[in-house]
Structure 1
Amino acid sequence: MTVDNKKRVTPGAPGVPFYTPIQEPPVGTAIASQETEVPTLFKPLTIRGVTIQNRFAVSPMCMYSADDGHLTDFHLVHLGAFALRGVALTIIEATAVAPNGRISPADSGLWQDSQIAPLRRVVDFIHSQGQKAGIQIAHAGRKASTVPLWQAKVEAKQLATEDVGGWPDNCVAPSAIPWDKEGWPMPKEMTIAQIEEVVQGFADAAKRAVVAGIDVIEIHGAHGYLISEFLSPISNRRTDKYGGSFENRTRLLFQVVDAIRAAIPESMPLFLRISATEWMEWSGQESWTLEDSIRLAKLLPEHGVDLLDVSSGGNNAQQKLDIHPYYQVSLAGKVREAVEAEGKKLLIGAVGMISNAEMARSIVQEGHKLNEEAAKNGTVEIEEEHGQKTQADLVLVARHLLREPEFVLKTARQLNVKVSWPKQYERGEWPRSFKI
């Protein structure tokens, strides 16, 4: 359904079942006449049949606010706020492909057709702002049946029991190994039939996402959830074709990738998020490492993956993270460099602690050196250094967007890039004389 524009003073956004003024060009688009060269951060990126006008994406964030897997008006407002303010691609939170694949009873799901309509409502609003909508589809594996984060803090426990809608006796994993010794469910080792059912679940969820109008699919293969559990030799102790060797431990991932790629249009981009390392190198055990991630990344293009979203950790309670502002960005850069060196075509997404203009600019900019002092202070001082390698093609921002939903617009202002604002908000644009 499209709104009739015959008597509208301002034409409405096309292809949505309600009236809102068309945002043309989309908010966050660099305006043609610039005083300085437009940085890569505000240049378009085309992935298969989808073009985004800048290099910002909303990283998936669990909100623990769904109703039996169905998105609600909370998600419309929460996600719509980012699209309204210029984020080119909004990726909806981890969305379970099966009821027992949710992280918590309040997680988003796409395992049944009734979940399509509320998702479509959110997608329609994102599209009405001229932006693109993605969704991360997932299975939580042994980290399922937990309570929302705020509840865990109050009750000092993770487990969601049956009396609050949990399923602690129906959690599955590659092997019967809990995430931690106390407070987590004891998962059941999956049968081959259950593995095949999960693969089909991912494909079916992807088909529903297409019906809902989603532009980009992302597979969640990170943070110790099911696919990540299969990748790691610490959590995967199987002796069949899904365990042991690198080829066997990556088998589920590639089956999911191939099933989704076959279920979605050729023009639709497919992303994959992984944990580049599980931060267990210190333990002396064989674990999933950056070298494994690089090996995996080189295989992804031939399976139709377009972008690798590089995160880390989450698969083991004993992990020892080396945290600094660029601890995950640098992992993305190393993966990108290794893939490029072999002439493979795979875009890279960087995530984690991206919280100021200089940091966001430097990650995707070719030929510019990061001024770490400027990034630390939130100021912008660009230094030329043509030997500097780009670390990623897309920046994915989560927590900082919760603090500053206008981060894209603010970044443009600090980088002296003129971008389009929401028509309704143009009176609020910062004056040239206003220091931010």
Structure 2
Amino acid sequence: MGAERHRRTLAPGETLFREGDGGHEAYVVESGCVEIFTGEQATRRSIARLGRDDIFGEMTLLGGQTRLASAVALETTTLIVVNHDYLEERMQAADPLLRHLLRVVIARNRDNVQRMSNGSGTGDHGASVIDQASASADRQAALHHLRLEQAMATALELGEFQLHLQPIVRLHDHRTAGFEALIRWIRPDGSRVSPGEFIPIAEQSELIYAMGHWIIRESCRHLAELDRRLPGAQPFLSLNLSLRQFDDPQLFPVLESALADTGISPRRLRLEITESMIARDADATLLLLQRCKALGAKLSVDDFGTGYSSLSYLQRLPVDTLKLDRSFISDLDGPPAAARIVGAVARLARELGMETVAEGIETPSQAARCRDLGVDFGQGFHWSPALPLDAAAAYLAQNGQAEP
């Protein structure tokens, strides 16, 4: 997904499209000014002058339509391109009613513009049946989403993403047993984009496929580098998988090739899925997890205790580890209910032959409480934040090795 696919720059006086042209794209003005008009030069009738954040050309997005007006740049202008495939991808993921309503709205707006170009109507571009105040928040959110997705595509090409490793420690001796791989976006100027901001947007688009491939390859490369620097340490590495990644036909080929290229044993990978993924479709999830197990990887359920699925899936799915959600850990110093839940999950996991990891441990008392309640591993700022490779290797050298 090249950056040029998403952006176009026009010189002053350059025509983007003419009335009667076919088209499958809409545009958002990033900078500059565009005039929308009908007729030829002698009979030219201006409909609107559009500036930053204005969108136009949307009525051809559904395909099979011609332009009802022409568009020309009045000054040097940069546009974000929104193509037909981009819209279709999102419409297919949307509620059917929403898809129908969107098509109706576009068709009716198209009729309105056509009447305007024929001389009827007021020609007042500012008039709208939509309350502008209520639409403003949606508009800004959509533009932010679009810009961030475009920036992510460019960041992948330019290598702005980094893989950081957060230690996972054995609670009985506080030695490092493994790491969780966490993606970080660090721009050339040193500024950071929060994973909570860009990962949900990536998961709504096909960017999650390319990003997922990068994470898998980098994770195996990082493990191989740790082995080279610290022979015998043999830490495991946890990778998060989103629901959409299971739709990627290249997921398992990429996993297999990354393991083969680095010589890493698949048993050192722990593939993490969330409980909510299982709740959506346990039968489909079972088939996919069986493929993961056939590969030789171990499986973890992340954020355990926050979903809505039945405990019955634990006896059906080939799960090796339960990761307790940080909300239970943060409540350990409060009312006794949280400690009872943590202890009950630890006992349940042990009875089922599974291990447990407590996420979000921030204090020595939380670490000690989890250990006393029977939790096997801990993870959190009490030990370390996520670290770049060199710092993770140094941390492992100082805090790794010893086995019970």
The TM-score, its normalising length taken from structure 1, stands at: 0.38
Higher strand share: 2
Higher helix share: 2
Q: Which structure: larger Rg? A: 2
